[in-house]
């Protein structure tokens, strides 16, 4: 019989030479080490940058170790997956990505469709990217290009953007702890959005973090007496703004309520005697009934809550317009606000479905 490795006679009832098998497994281990080291900065002695170059450079090793194409491909994909799992600190991301995208499509899918591939780019790589300093412009450009390429995978792109939005939210909240975001902080956030490519995604504009950022910048414009209209673009506004009236914000899907006073009749009696049992009578008092008032919330429907530099509007099943200077008092909530309008009979209006932080701060700045 022939040796399954060298294909030379191996003797009766034998399918392999012991030395051939030892060399085969030793070569597998050697190739694994080569690929494990290849993508570490300042450590690899291999020159290959893609799959074909690797096969060419390692041809002698592959041949002498009796390594088939399938075994070689398995070594390559296992090595790439292991590096992704380890999240190596000194990994050459550019070289790693270049090689990974050069492997045959059927092998590439064995890497791209794994959870650790997604996790590596979304929860590790971008953190490395965000630690770059402003003077590392060339490195930043490399990382930007790399990020755009790995975002070709929709799942990875979504995960990266979600992770970046978490970092953005944390950064914005930190800046807001000491008041409104200043010019320097705005510049830092702008660079973050540029470097991360978040500014090109629809997800950004829907995020609460980005909305809080724009709201803070609008508050700063009000404080500095600047034009705020450049910060917000809204189409098909359901109201006509007055002269010198500027739109500040629009909250959608808001529930509105108006406190109303109702009346009901209670306590009336005609003084009729009722026989309870034989020989026993109970006489109901002849006191007069009277009308009492009670408060209830009248539903104004669901609609939009609009803030301008002069008025507050609610456009739902019913409409409410309230001049900011006419707000007698307010009570903020984490999910809405109660406003009392000044007048002959002040009554509260409650609007639910948004964080009242922006409304309260805008009103305070506008009435100063």
pLDDT, tens digit, 9 for 90 and up, residues 15-58? 889 999 999 999 999 999 888 888 776 555 567 888 999 999 99
* Domains of the chain: residue spans and CATH: 18-150 (no CATH), 234-259+298-367 (2.30.29.30)
**What values do phi and psi take at 41, rounded to 5?**
-60, 135
Question: Of all residues in the chain, what percent carry a pLDDT higher than 90?
Answer: 33
Q: Which pLDDT score is estimated for 290? A: 61
**350 has a pLDDT exceeding 90:** yes
Q: Which pLDDT score is estimated for 82? A: 86
Higher pLDDT, 311 or 260: 311
Give residues with Cβ within 8 angstroms of 98, minimum separation 6: 49, 50
Q: Which pLDDT score is estimated for 273? A: 55
Q: Would you give the DSSP letter of residue 325?
A: G
Sheet with 319-323: list strands edge to edge: 319-323, 311-315, 290-308, 247-266, 347-352, 336-341, 327-333
Band (pLDDT 50/70/90 cuts) for residue 279 is low
Mean pLDDT of the chain: 82
Q: Which pLDDT score is estimated for 9? A: 87
Place of tokens 């390429």: 149
Q: Which pLDDT score is estimated for 164? A: 80
Band (pLDDT 50/70/90 cuts) for residue 291 is low
Higher pLDDT, 298 or 85: 298
Closest to 228 in 3D by CA, of 205, 248, 242, 250: 248
Task: Calculate mean pLDDT across residues 265-290.
Answer: 58
pLDDT digits (tens, 9 = 90+) for 302-345: 999 999 999 999 999 999 999 999 999 999 998 999 999 887 77
Helix, coil or strand: residue 255: strand
Give 254's strand partners: 303
Question: Of all residues in the chain, what percent carry a pLDDT higher than 70?
Answer: 83
Helix, coil or strand: residue 15: coil
Q: What is the CA radius of gyration of the chain?
A: 36
Asked if 12 and 1 count as a contact pair (C-beta separation under 8 A), the reply is: yes
**Length of the chain, in residues:** 368
Closest to 59 in 3D by CA, of 49, 72, 43, 40: 72
Asked if 113 and 156 count as a contact pair (C-beta separation under 8 A), the reply is: no
Asked if 111 and 117 count as a contact pair (C-beta separation under 8 A), the reply is: yes
Say how far apart CA 231 and CA 212 lie, in whole Å.
Answer: 12
Higher pLDDT, 117 or 79: 79
Say how far apart CA 321 and CA 314 lie, in whole Å.
Answer: 7
Q: Which pLDDT score is estimated for 254? A: 96
Higher pLDDT, 283 or 33: 33
Higher pLDDT, 267 or 149: 149
Q: Which pLDDT score is estimated for 35? A: 86
Asked if 282 and 274 count as a contact pair (C-beta separation under 8 A), the reply is: yes
Say how far apart CA 65 and CA 301 lie, in whole Å.
Answer: 77
Q: Which pLDDT score is estimated for 257? A: 94
pTM as predicted: 0.64
pLDDT digits (tens, 9 = 90+) for 174-233: 888 877 888 888 888 887 887 777 776 677 888 888 888 899 999 999 988 888 777 777
Say how far apart CA 341 and CA 330 lie, in whole Å.
Answer: 9
Q: Which pLDDT score is estimated for 127? A: 64
Place of tokens 């070689």: 72
Say how far apart CA 34 and CA 18 lie, in whole Å.
Answer: 24
């Amino acid at each position: 019989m022939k040796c399954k490795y060298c294909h030379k006679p191996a003797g009766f009832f034998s399918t392999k030479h012991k030395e051939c098998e030892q060399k085969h497994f030793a070569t597998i281990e050697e190739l694994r080490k080569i690929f494990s080291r290849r993508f570490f900065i300042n450590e690899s002695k291999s020159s290959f940058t893609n799959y074909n170059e690797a096969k060419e450079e390692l041809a002698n090793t592959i041949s002498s170790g009796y390594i088939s194409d399938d075994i070689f491909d398995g070594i390559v994909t296992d090595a790439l997956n292991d590096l992704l799992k380890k999240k190596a600190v000194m990994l050459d991301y550019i070289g790693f990505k270049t090689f990974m995208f050069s492997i045959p499509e059927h092998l590439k899918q064995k890497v791209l469709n794994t959870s650790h591939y997604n996790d590596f780019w979304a929860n590790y790589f971008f953190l490395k990217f965000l630690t770059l300093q402003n003077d590392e412009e060339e490195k930043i450009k490399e990382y930007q290009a790399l990020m755009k390429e790995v975002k070709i995978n929709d799942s990875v792109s979504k995960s990266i953007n979600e992770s970046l939005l978490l970092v953005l939210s944390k950064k914005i909240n930190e800046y807001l702890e000491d008041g409104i975001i200043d010019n320097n902080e705005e510049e830092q956030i702008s660079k973050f959005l540029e470097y991360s490519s978040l500014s090109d995604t629809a997800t950004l504009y829907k995020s609460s973090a980005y909305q809080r950022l724009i709201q803070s910048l609008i508050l700063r414009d009000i404080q500095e007496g600047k034009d705020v209209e450049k910060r917000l673009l809204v189409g098909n506004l359901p109201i006509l703004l007055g002269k010198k009236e500027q739109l500040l914000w629009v909250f959608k899907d808001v529930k509105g309520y108006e406190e109303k006073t109702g009346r009901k009749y209670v306590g009336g009696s005609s003084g009729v005697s009722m026989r309870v049992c034989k020989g026993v009578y109970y006489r109901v008092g002849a006191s007069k009934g009277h009308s009492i008032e009670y408060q209830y919330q009248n539903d104004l429907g669901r609609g939009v809550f609009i803030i301008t530099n002069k008025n507050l509007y609610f456009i739902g099943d019913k409409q409410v317009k309230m001049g900011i200077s006419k707000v007698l008092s307010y009570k903020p909530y984490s999910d809405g606000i109660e406003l009392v309008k000044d007048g002959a009979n002040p009554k509260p209006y409650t609007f639910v479905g948004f964080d009242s932080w922006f409304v309260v701060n805008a009103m305070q700045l506008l009435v100063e």
